[in-house]
Amino acid sequence: MEQVPLAHLLILSSALFFLGIYGFFTRRNMITMLMSVELILNSVNINFIAFNKYLFPNQLEGIFFTLFIIAVAAAEVSLAIAIIINLFRKFNTVDVEEVDTMKF
């Protein structure tokens, strides 16, 4: 079975990273911004797995870092969704430009 070259994985990771950056800076919807952050984190995960596979094939450090990032991303998503739901209940929108205060 052929292995995927490292260059292909890095190109995929770079594309995901820049799509996430573009989505984060151009969108005003909080949910879309949250999905863009997840794209950025997934591109980092691809880099960790790719470099672990090609530089240290018998070690698992890259996989452990990836699992840690997935756990942190899951906690971040749950917190962000809770904040977005509370903001939607108060302002009836999830647009960043219209939500200008965090006071209760």
Residue 43 lies in a domain: yes
Residue 49 lies in a domain: yes
Residue 92 lies in a domain: yes
State pLDDT tens for residues 14-49: 999 999 999 999 998 899 999 999 999 999 999 999
Residue 42 lies in a domain: yes
pTM metric for this prediction: 0.85
CA neighbor of 42 nearest in space, from 72, 87, 3: 72
Residue 6 lies in a domain: no
What DSSP letter does each residue of 30-95 carry, written as one string?
HHHHHHHHHHHHHHHHHHHHHHHHHH-TT--HHHHHHHHHHHHHHHHHHHHHHHHHHHHHHHS--B
User: Can you give the residue range of the structural domain that contains 41?
Assistant: 29-96
State pLDDT tens for residues 87-102: 889 888 888 887 776 6
Cβ(75)–Cβ(62) below 8 Å:
no
Residue 63 lies in a domain: yes
Structural domain count, the chain = 1
Residue 91 lies in a domain: yes
Residue 15 lies in a domain: no
